[in-house]
Amino acid sequence: MMRRAQPWLGTLVDITIGDALDDIALMSCFNAAFARIAKVHRLMSFHDLNSDVSRINRASVGDTINIDPLTDEVIRTALAVAEASGGIFDINCAAKLIEWGYLPRLEEVLLECPSGRRCAVILESDYKAIKTEPACIDLGGIAKGYAVDLAIEELKQLGVQSACVNAGGDLRVIGDIAYSITIRHAERPTEAAGRIQIQDEALATSAGYFSRKSIDGREVSPLVNGKTGAPVTSTFSASVSASTCMVADALTKIVSATGDVNHPALTQFDATAFIT
């Protein structure tokens, strides 16, 4: 078993390959998987001015923006999760995250947060996005999960039988071997709350212990409840397991905001949740 880690998407991405491969084969598998993660980073970074996300954010209402098929897929999934959650999950809340200091204040970026669940873009066919609202988007709540899925798909295509890809707590496992996963303790995050075995599925966890902070006496977090516009400051940790990490990642935000491990959105995406 071999593990490597690189910094991408604002966190550490850790890849484990369980197959007994020679050094050269292992290296090319790792490199190919990290290259997929790097591609998601380049396309969906809020910070990088050349990313699809930045080009959407800097566009004027009415502009058409050509986006990569990968970005298109993530935005479409984000919109489906938004719909299923009555707007709790919302990629259009970047203005709040800028206000609370979680995202940088970039020039040329519009700082309105739309109300009434209007998305900043409409997706046409042929990977074209039309800017429809003067808002900016952030895919931070879903892109890590998607990057994990792409890396896993790449490893599968290369014939890898057993692997785990973990992007800062959003992870997915393939193969017949179960991987042991430690869940962080919600109040003492450098300790384990418990361990679970995962096989051939994705698990994502969301919690505020590393990121909650106080601004002018008000507690904020990098997670916005899109329905209310308020920061989610729950003190528990919400984990979701699903068949893809993209869906698991997005759904953790709904469980964090509602505390509801039986939320209908989970059923709709065939996912399960637990809180610790």
Q: Which stretch binds another protein (CB under 8 A): 49-57, 76-84, 115-123, 187-195?
A: 187-195
Choose, by CB under 8 A, the member of 101, 194, 229, 264 that binds another protein: 194
Q: Which of residues 221-240 bind another protein (CB under 8 A)?
A: 237, 239
| DSSP state letter for 13 | E
| DSSP state letter for 176 | S
Q: How crowded is residue 197: how many other Cβ atoms within 10 Å of its Cβ? A: 10
32-70 core/surface letters (b: 16 or more CB in 10 A; e: else) = ebbebbbbbbebbbbeeeebbbbbbbbbeeeeebebbeb
CB of 228 to another protein, least distance (A): 21
Choose, by CB under 8 A, the member of 22, 176, 191, 216 that binds another protein: 191
- Contact residues for 214 (Cβ-Cβ < 8 A; gap 6+): 220
CB of 256 to another protein, least distance (A): 10
Query: Is the distance from CB of 16 to CB of 167 less than 8 angstroms?
Result: no
Q: Does position 264 bind another protein by CB under 8 A? A: no
Choose, by CB under 8 A, the member of 64, 66, 115, 211 that binds another protein: 211
Query: Is the distance from CB of 212 to CB of 184 less than 8 angstroms?
Result: no
Choose, by CB under 8 A, the member of 50, 60, 125, 180 that binds another protein: 180
Binding site for another protein (CB under 8 A): 1-7, 10-12, 14, 16, 24, 27, 30, 144, 164, 166-171, 179-184, 188-197, 203-211, 237, 239, 241, 272, 274, 276
